[in-house]
Amino acid sequence: MKRVLRYVAMALLPAIALGCQNLNVALDVPTIRPIGTDQVLDQNPVWIPRPPSDYGLVYETVLQVLGDYGFEIAETHRYSGHVEAVPRISPGLILFLKPGSPDLYDRFLSSLQTYRHRVSVVIETADPQSADHGGYFVKFIVRKELEDLARPLRSTVGGAVFRSENTVERQTEVIDATFFDSSWIGRGRDTALEQELIRRFKNSLPDASCVVR
Q: What is the DSSP letter of 134?
A: S
Divide the 213 residues of the chain into consecutive groups of 10 and give the mean pLDDT of each group: 56 48 40 45 86 91 93 90 92 86 87 90 82 80 86 58 56 47 80 92 76 46
In residues, how long is the chain? 213
pLDDT reported for residue 7: 55
pLDDT reported for residue 95: 86
Q: Is 134 left (phi over 0), alpha (psi -120 to 50) or beta?
A: left
What is the three-class DSSP state of 180? coil
Bridge partners of 156, per DSSP, are none
pLDDT reported for residue 18: 42
Sign of the torsion formed by the C-alpha atoms of 151, 155, 159 and 163 = negative
pLDDT reported for residue 168: 56
Per-residue pLDDT of 167-180, as tens digits, reads: 555 555 544 444 44
pLDDT reported for residue 64: 94
pLDDT reported for residue 183: 82
Spell out the domains of the chain, with CATH numbers in brackets: 44-153+183-205 (3.30.530)
